[in-house]
Amino acid sequence: MKKVWLSVAAMALLTPMVAETQTAQAASWHNGTPKAMRGKYQAKKHSAAQGFGDMYHITAKTYTYDASGMPQVKATKLRYKKISAHTWRLQGKVKTSAAVRFSKLDEKIYCKSKKFAATDYGSKFSKLSWATKVSKFK
């Protein structure tokens, strides 16, 4: 009978401890851009008709994307979350104009040493989305 009471008492003491465990958040949102991602990146030209390769300029508070023949996309009020090693999700607000119709930026970005790739969040990186770090744009 003592063993039954001891096991009931042990269960009563351990149950609140098990019930109160909390799960940790895998990643949290941070303001700005990660330091590892900052810099200037330029992709190669995809065709002879293209004037220059896609250009990315990332600072602590802005994300700028230029493509030949397209309007410049500049995002501010940035926040990021780490997805995996060298991969982040970047969100921000884009100022709309006559040429730019969307107002939100939601990108998946890979950056390791001099390699850089950016695509819409939820998409896979394609061959055309890769760029390298440069000191100035060509």
Q: What pLDDT, in 10s, does the model give residues 51-109? A: 888 999 999 999 999 988 888 899 999 999 999 999 999 999 998 777 777 889 999 99
Find tokens 């493509």 and name the residue: 67
Domain boundaries in the chain?
Answer: 30-134
> How far is Cα 101 from Cα 115, in angstroms, rounded to an integer?
29
- Return the CA Rg of the chain: 24
> How far is Cα 8 from Cα 6, in angstroms, rounded to an integer?
5
Find tokens 């995996």 and name the residue: 84
Burial 65-87 (b: 16+ CB within 10 A, else e): bbbeeeeebbbeebebeeeeebe
Judging by DSSP bridges, how do beta strands 30-31 and 115-120 pair with one another? unpaired
> How far is Cα 133 from Cα 39, in angstroms, rounded to an integer?
7
Ranges 4-13, 17-26, 30-39, 124-133, most confident: 30-39
Q: What pLDDT, in 10s, does the model give residues 113-122? A: 899 999 889 8
For 30-134, the fitting CATH number among 2.30.30, 3.80.10, 2.40.128, 2.60.40 is: 2.40.128
